[in-house]
Structure 1
Amino acid sequence: MKREFLLNIGFLIVVNLLIKPFYIFGIDRTVQNTVEAREYGLYFTLFNFTFLFQIINDFGLQNFNNRHLSQHRQLLAKYFPSFLMLKFLLAILYLLVLYVAANLADYPDEYFHMLWLIGVNCILLSLVLYLRSNVSGLGWYRTDSLLSVLNRSLMIVVCGILLWNPAWKGDFRIEWFVYAQTFTLVLTALVAFAVIFRELKNWVFRLRPVYLLLILKKSYPYALVIFLMTVYTRIDGVMIERLLADGTREAGIYAMAYRLLDAANMFGFLIAGLLLPMFARMLRDRQSVFPLLNLSFRIVWVVSIGLAFAVFFFRERIMTGLYVEGDAYSGDVLGYLILSFIAASGTYIHGTLLTANGSMLKMNLIFVIGVILNVLLNCWLIPEMQALGAALATCITQFVVWLAQVELVRRIFGKPLQWRLLGQFVLFAVACLLSFQWLAGLQGKWLWYFLLCFPLTGALAFVFGLVTRRQILELLSGRDNFGW
């Protein structure tokens, strides 16, 4: 299973490195630089607002289906029609709730056009993720990896034409960006459906209320997890706009930095999608999950520490280099946010194991604490520090939630604390911190020093034993006893 994980995560990373960096820095950044900060800040605020109600769209169906299908792959044709019908009904309910919530929030009438468009995109995104959960649940991990970049690939083509064609470039509006998302999400959903269609035999749509209620009953603990995670990771953008006089501009500044955090978090999100069916199958077969847990966390720790510390020490130069309105203040916002990436990455590993184990109640209690803590910190810090306060609140919340999950995994699975391994992790992090701080202080072209952080991260991982020559040789030889 470890070899399967490494091969698939390697393929996943390569595929995403070919597409997503170009989308983030070529398309998304260009959109933010083309429109005003307030205009993008409004889009960011409305997107976060619609995302707060994404629980209605999904209701835990994605994670429930991924876990359940990976353990009972023969049931795809039986469950798929009911799940699809349920998704349609939930989408209607989602739009109704969104309309009521927007009116209660007293959003002006001119906001509603974009709000509806983003709401439809959230429905389409939820549909794509559900369809992909069937692909990964069937064990087609490489196909799922390709589907994970299809939407972004299409966005590169569509937005590239809109942004760089002289006939349209000067008239580009944020609404065009939203329209492009709608178009590409529809195409991605059609492709994902075509992939799994061959496995659907003798299936028909039937409205069976009792059966739909049974699915909802089984999936609601997963839905609560998604809702609570969404609240404490997305409510900050909404609170910035609501609590500050110049809220849309501050939200725009926060969005510039948060977009880079979002890009980094895709790494953990993709690994979680790969790990969930693997953990579920191993738990079903009563196999030890610790070798895979150990391996995946080593990879995530090396990547998250290397990336977070590198971006932190070059934060101001990154923001001024990427954005027209980037400055030292927006760099500090990025600094706090990117440090939260370390904790978020750990959550993607330990939270995924808890999800695969069905430990939903205890995990939801942790997320409730995370929501309360995040809202209180935002109420305190945003009026005092503006967008910087929201970034600090995010960082603190993410670390509290992750460490609570680590302790919960230790208690449920009875894994004793490995002090030697913990020492390796800490020494590696300290070495990266000191090395990158030194590189950031050097005079010259900063970009070269920033890029040097990443091969240095790999070298330090070898020095402190997080990766060894023997492990690499055993992986290449095809043996599944790496001694991790």
Structure 2
Amino acid sequence: MQKLFLRGLGITLLLNLLVKPATIFLVDIKMQNELGLDSYGIFQTMLNFTFLFSMLLDMGITNFMTRMIAQHPHMIHKYSNRLFTFRLILVLVYIVWTLSLFFILRFPVEWLWVLGLLIMHQISIITVNYVRAYTGGLLKFGLDAVLSVVERSVYFVFGSILIYTTFVQPVTLQWFTIIFVGSSTISLVVATIIYLHIVALPRLHWDTDFFKAIFRQSYPYAILVIIMMLTSRLDAVFLEKLHPQGTVQVSYYTQSFRLLDACWMFAVLFGSILLPVFSRVLKDNTSTTGIMTSALNILFSGGILMITLTIGIKEFLFDKLYDDANWYSYNAWIFHSITFIPMCFTVVFGTLLTANGSLRTMNQIAFLSLIVMSVLNVLLIPFFGAVGAAIASLVAQSTLGVLQYLVVRYRMRHHLASYTWFKLMILSAFMLIAMFLEIRFQWNQLYYAIGIGFLWMVLVFGLKVIDLVQVLKMLNSKEKV
């Protein structure tokens, strides 16, 4: 099963590395520079607002189905029509709720058209993720990898046409939003074709008893995802409401958060593969140590490289990426980059808890982290703006990740391989020393990047944080997985 995990991860990472970094650096960042702080701040505020309760579109069905299909593949056709009907009801609930909340919170009416289009975007994205529950649950990781990049690929093409050609001048918020939403709509069409191939043409099937039963089984997943979504996306709403320069601070925050979100996209890919793999492993009552250790080692070591490299050259990096980067951008990134480490804990240990069905514990931990984040935002944002929101995010995610690990280790009694933490601490210590030396002596950025990359490779492979020989042996083995 560890071999299957590594192969699936390899395919998924390859496709996403080809598409998502190019989209972020060649389209997303350029688009923010073109639109300006106010216009992009409006877009980002509404995007985060539609994210907040997007789980109403799913109610935990996707995670529930991924786990169920991974453990019982023969049940793939059993509930498809009734789930299709149930999801249509959820779409109506989400639209009514989001629009009502928009007016209750008294957002400007001029933003309503942006909200309407982004509601369509959320419906498309959540539906694509639902289809991925089938591809992932069946362990069809190649097909799942393709689905994971369709929307970003289309957005890259259309966004490049908008930015780098003269077909549309000037670049406006209207055109950007249309392209953004159009890309997710096309990905929905592709996902629909795959769904029809794997399952069948869905039909309306009203079954009140089934709806009640699926709600009882899936609502803990929904509560968990809603709380975690609030924890990660509520910052921008707090900024817009609590700071005198709300939309401007949201833009500064987004400059930093976008880079964290780019790293998080790749971490989430681990989770999408780990959930069905952990579910199958737990069903077969075999050890999770190998898979859990491999995933944490890859994520943690990659994260420490990202942190030490980017903090060391943060001013240079942000000045190259953005036209209006400043103190808020630079310092928000210090806290955002470190936040990636506890988020990796959530990907590994939180996914294992989800596969185990430990949702009550997960919800309690997530709710505590949400309270921590909310209190810190209220206290820090009026004084520190985007930097205060980044600090709140770091503390909240650390609370979440550490508590999840403690539950896995001491309640579930699943453990990592020997010396895992020791190796990761040695790696971190040497990398951080190099970063502080760069900050102290202000070395050439290119030389520093090359040097820190070389040091990372020596440590990672020398300490066998990532054991290439073992990985290659595993991938070339003929054993059944």
Same-fold call, TM cutoff 0.5: yes
Q: Which amino acid aligns with 1:412?
A: R
2:227 match: 228
Correspondence list, 1:106-117, <5 A: 106-117=106-117
Q: Is the CA contact 2:289–2:416 (under 8 Å) kept in the aligned structure 1?
A: no
Change (3 A) 1:400 1:201: closer
Q: Which runs of structure 2 are paired with 1:179-258 in the superposition (5 Å)?
A: 179-201=178-200, 204-258=203-257
Whole-angstrom CA distance in 2 between matches of 1:357 and 1:62 = 16
Q: Secondary structure of 1:413's partner?
A: coil
Amino acid at match of 1:133: A
User: 62-71 vs 372-381, which deviates more?
Assistant: 62-71
- Residues 12 and 109 (structure 1), Cα distance of their counterparts in 2 relative to 1, 3 Å cut: same
Q: Could you say if the C-alpha distance between residues 250 and 22 of structure 1 is closer, same or farther in structure 2, counting changes exceeding 3 Å?
A: same
What CA deviation, in whole Å up to 9, does each residue of 1:180-231 have, x standing for no partner? 1222212211212212322325863312222122111111000011011011
CA distance in structure 2 between the partners assigned to 1:308 and 1:338 by the alignment: 5
Alignment correspondent of 2:375: 376
Deviation of 1:131 (Å): 1.0
Aligned in 2, Cα 1:58/1:77: closer, same or farther, shift over 3 Å? same
C-alpha spacing 1:65/1:455, structure 2 compared with 1 (3 Å): farther
> What does residue 95 of structure 1 align with?
95
2: distance between equivalents of 1:460 and 1:117? 47
Shift of 1:132: 1.3
Question: What code does the residue aligned with 1:5 have?
Answer: F
Displacement after TM superposition at 1:332 (Å): 0.8
1:370-449 to 2 correspondence within 5 Å? 370-415=369-414, 420-439=419-438, 446-447=445-446, 449=448
**Which sections of structure 2, spanning at least 5 residues, go unmatched?**
none
**Cα 1:277–1:309 shift into 2, 3 Å:** same
- Distance between the aligned counterparts of 1:90 and 1:355, measured in 2? 23
1:436 deviates by: 3.3
Count of residues paired in the alignment: 480
**Deviation of the 1:78 alpha carbon:** 1.9
The farther-off stretch of 64-73 and 357-366 is 64-73
2:256 and 2:329 in contact (8 A); partners too: yes
State whether residues 77 and 199 of structure 1, in contact with CA within 8 Å, keep that contact through their aligned partners in structure 2: no
Q: Is the 8 A contact 1:280 1:356 kept in 2?
A: yes
Percent sequence identity is 28
Q: Is the 8 A contact 1:29 1:322 kept in 2?
A: yes
Residue aligning to 1:318: 317
AA in 2 matched with 1:358? G
Cross-structure match for 1:24? 24
| Distance (whole Å) between structure 2 residues aligned to residue 191 and residue 418 of structure 1 | 40
**How far apart are 1:80 and its partner, in Å?**
1.9
Which residue pairs with 2:50 in the alignment? 50
Structure-2 separation of matches of 1:235 and 1:215: 28
* In 2: Cα distance, 1:9 partner to 1:476 partner: 12
Superimposed CA distance per residue, residues 285-310 of structure 1 (whole angstroms, 9 cap, x where no aligned partner): 11111221111111111111111222
RMSD: 1.9
1:66 to 1:110, Cα distance in 2 relative to 1, 3 A: same
Deviation per CA, 1:352-371: give whole Å up to 9, x if none: 00000000000100001001
Distance in 1, matches of 2:201 and 2:100, equals: 40
Whichever residue aligns with residue 139 of structure 2, its letter is G
| Separation (CA, whole Å) in 2 of partners of 1:219 and 1:417 | 29
C-alpha change, 1:412 and 1:88, in structure 2 (3 Å) is same
- Say whether residues 1:173 and 2:166 are aligned partners: no
* Counterpart Cα distance in 2 of 1:249 and 1:201: 47
Structure 1 segment 231-310 matched on structure 2, within 5 A = 231-310=230-309
CA apart distance, 1:256: 1.0
Q: Which whole-Å CA distance do the structure 2 matches of 1:62 and 1:194 have between them?
A: 18
SS in structure 1 of the partner of residue 167 of structure 2: helix
Cα-to-partner distance string for 1:74-97 (whole Å, 9 max, x where unaligned): 222222222222222111111111
Amino acid aligned to 2:92? I
Preserved CA contact (<8 Å) 2:290 2:417: no
Q: Which runs of no fewer than 5 residues in structure 1 stay unpaired?
A: none
1:448–1:149 CA distance, 2 compared to 1 (3 A): farther
The one-letter amino acid of 1:167's match is: F
Quote how far apart the aligned CAs of 1:463 are: 2.4
Task: Say yes or no: does 1:141 pair with 2:141.
Answer: yes
Q: Describe the SS at the equivalent of 1:107.
A: coil
Offset, 1:446 = 1.7
Q: TM-score, normalised by structure 2?
A: 0.95
Distance 2:411 2:443 in 1: 51
Cα distance in structure 1, aligned partners of 2:446 and 2:74:
51
Letter matched to residue 192 of structure 1: A
Amino acid at match of 2:367: V
1:167, CA displacement in angstroms? 3.4
CA distance in 1: counterparts of 2:133 and 2:157, whole angstroms: 26
Q: Is the 8 A contact 2:84 2:202 kept in 1?
A: no
Do the aligned partners of residues 479 and 461 (structure 1) sit closer, same or farther apart at CA in structure 2, a change above 3 Å counting? farther
Aligned equivalent of 2:9: 9
Distance 1:120 1:452 in 2: 46
How far apart are residue 449 of structure 1 and its match? 2.9
Instruction: Quote the Cα distance in structure 2 between the aligned partners of 1:157 and 1:475.
Output: 37
1:70–1:281 Cα contact (<8 Å) kept: yes
Q: What is the Cα deviation at residue 331 of structure 1?
A: 0.9
SS in 2 for 1:167: coil
- TM-score scaled by length of structure 1: 0.95
